[in-house]
Amino acid sequence: MKINKEQIEKHGLKLEEYNKIKELLGREANLLELGIFSAMWNEHCSYKSSKIHLKKLPTKNNIVIQGPGENAGVIDIGDDDAIIFKIESHNHPSFIEPYQGAATGVGGILRDVFTMGARPIALMNSIHFGSPTNKNTQNLLNGVVSGIGGYGNSVGIPTVGGETKFNSTYNENILVNAMAVGHANKNKIFYSKAKGINKPVVYVGSKTGRDGIHGATMASAEFDENSEEKKPTVQVGDPFTEKLLLEACLELMKENSIISIQDMGAAGLTSSSIEMASKGKLGIELDLNKVPCRENNMSPYEMMLSESQERMLIILDEKKEKKAKKIFDKWDLDFVVIGKTIETKKLKLHYKKDLVADIPIEALSSSAPQYERKWTKTELPKKETNFKNLKKINFKESFLKIISSSNHSNKKWITEQYDQMVMCDTIQKSGSDAAIIRIHKKNKAIAVAVDSSANYCKSHPITGGKQIVCENWRNLISMGAKPIAITNCLNFGNPENPEIMGQFAETIIGIKEACEYLDYPVVSGNVSFYNGTNKKNIFPTPVIGGVGIIQKPEKKINHLFKKAGNSVLLIGKTFGHLYQSAFSNEILSINEGPPPEINLTNEKNNGEFVLELIKQNLALSVHDVSAGGTIVSLAEMSIDSSLGVKIEKPKNLNNIFEYFFGEDQGRYLVEIDKNNLNKVKDLFKKNNIFHEMIGVTQKDNFELAGEFNIDIKELSKINNKWYYNY
């Protein structure tokens, strides 16, 4: 059957791409082969628009064991311990089917981690929804949160934190990014690279169904008014089977029988087999008659493109096949040899008695298109708004409006749906700058944080890219952790639009600059393009997931005030930057102007100084200053600790709004015991670190001298009001 233009377009390919396929094959493709090329050449799997830019990111240093290119990144944390982590998107599926989309996003990222030989120890997420007044937002929020909690709780992995944000830019395209962190012995890491000829290729896990077909292709296209019709492309998850698969794989990994292993994620059996073969520079031959199916009369096309969940592909040492099968039989999971590795560098598929596909591996991998798309620069916006004349604005009312808004309200309603303490190693759960998880049976811990800042990136992508790396860095430091590596999930609109492509290219430049300066390598990640509906694209939303090491868990810290009568210091200079701020957005309804400047030298110096204070037991609590400025950060410290603070205005204050709501970067709030104040001041002077005395903790009231005095309990009610009412 000759492939026609309609079929090519339906598979998300362009006519010139299909012509290249014919050239690589030396013939017309059949429908199955077209489907396989469609899966491997789409944006989601091939990174054809992003690869040239991603290569610029720093991915190595002396602790990186495995950077991008595998299922997840691996870092060395000493004592033969390794941390394995990654973040990925499941945006389109979650918009179409919120519960299953979010649930299978969690399941997929867990498999990426335990495929590497790690036991997952923590989950986090970054979820973005449209305006709270949008008719779909409430249902989408409920569905996604339930899906995240339902899957993570059932598998028994703690969901220890993340972020939830609202903006009308996500009205028709929500973002659901899931991050998983695992722990393994650094000498027992497993990879997807196939090795050896005539080695058995084994299918393990759940049976294959018709769910998820064309899922990867869907993730590589914009939505339109017919998006509801794509529900069949959303996978259906089974967390209880995932738990069985996790335990079976980890048990098998102890037997030294695995040559390579790959999760069947996007594009399912297609991508897993091709990735393994491509990395190993060999071929794979599969007998599709042997694929375990849960539905009758499944075609080779359906089997190869299904994205049914909880499945793995393993290449085994043939001598240990029987022993491996016993393990999977014990866990009541399918274990079927469906093929073998071959010397010929091809993907050969057999069905019934026919050879139904015969494709060179390189044609599907290294020969996939790579585009250097046109892109335009984003000029730094001018400062056109006059923030000097705000006499008609009431400061107290502005403050209360911000902390009661959807983006700044307390989000316990969400996080309390997640089991954060299962496995009993969670030291600090959600609600602080980062979560802390003890390395099991070890006297050390890791801190994990997830951050994004779409408005900064929309305004000026280079600055926004730097900022979000630095904010993540500060969040880890605020917990007493040394930041060591990041993963990223880069959520953008249509890359064929030069403006959108420019946002992506320049965000990468910003991330690169910050990561290089801070020695904060990118070890894994994901690109999610085509986030938009009917040509309306989302704001550029890079999400950074960072990991830090705490060598002595007793040195951990959080943002909660500890005792009345202590001094509160502000580290870092305040210039009063209100452009792109919460104040500008929530109070003035202004979304113009540049983001705050990023001084990487100050970021590094201030951060390292704060770590030293924590190390010397001189800091009692620490909180970075971010969205909402100093006043909102102080309120978070106060509300969560049920301790008040009396805040003093600095002398010669020109603009109270700029000083307290300004979102200047590189700043921290630190609580110091009054008895240690002189010692701390000497350290500031010795290290040339700018600081200001900003207040004193007190029992019951949150007070700004000369402006307002609010009981902490009342302030807490206001901070919780939005979610209770929603």
CB atoms within 10 A of CB 677: 15
Cα–Cα dist 718/15, whole Å = 57
CB 231 within 8 A of CB 101: no
The structure tokens 């983001």 sit at 595
Cα–Cα dist 313/216, whole Å = 18
For residue 615, give the amino acid letter.
K
Largest Cα–Cα distance in the chain? 87
E strand or H helix that includes residue 401? helix 395-403
Cα–Cα dist 326/248, whole Å = 10
CB 420 within 8 A of CB 160: yes
Active site residue 460: no
List the catalytic residue out of 11, 44, 128, 691.
44
**Alpha helix locations (H) across 519-623?**
582-586, 600-615
Dihedral sign, Cα of residue 300, residue 304, residue 309, residue 315: positive
DSSP reduced 3-state for 79: coil
Kindly state the tokens that stand for 453: 């800042």
Kindly state the tokens that stand for 117: 């030989």
Cα–Cα dist 28/99, whole Å = 40
Cα–Cα dist 694/105, whole Å = 43
Cα–Cα dist 369/571, whole Å = 49
DSSP 679-698: HHHHHHHHHT--EEEEEEEE
Cα–Cα distances (Å) from 241 to 238, 333, 455, in that order, read 6, 8, 40
Q: Who's near 542: CB < 8 A, 6+ residues apart?
A: 452, 457, 464, 465, 468, 488, 489, 490, 491, 507, 511
Cα–Cα distances (Å) from 121 to 180, 244, 547, 629, in that order, read 8, 16, 13, 33
List the catalytic residue out of 11, 53, 90, 691.
90
Active site residue 559: no
Q: 305, 334, 410: which is closest to 35 by C-alpha?
A: 305
CB 211 within 8 A of CB 234: yes
CA atoms within 13 A on the CB side of 101: 31
Q: At what angle do helices 712-725 and 395-403 cross, to 10 degrees?
A: 50
Cα–Cα dist 205/331, whole Å = 10
Q: Is 236 left (phi over 0), alpha (psi -120 to 50) or beta?
A: beta
Q: 480, 287, 481, 395: which is closest to 707 by C-alpha?
A: 395
* Cα–chain center distance at 553: 25
Cα–Cα dist 137/166, whole Å = 9
Cα–Cα dist 102/234, whole Å = 10
Parallel/antiparallel/unpaired status of strands 522-528 and 482-491: parallel
**Alpha helix locations (H) across 494-593?**
498-518, 582-586
Q: Which residues are catalytic?
A: 44, 90
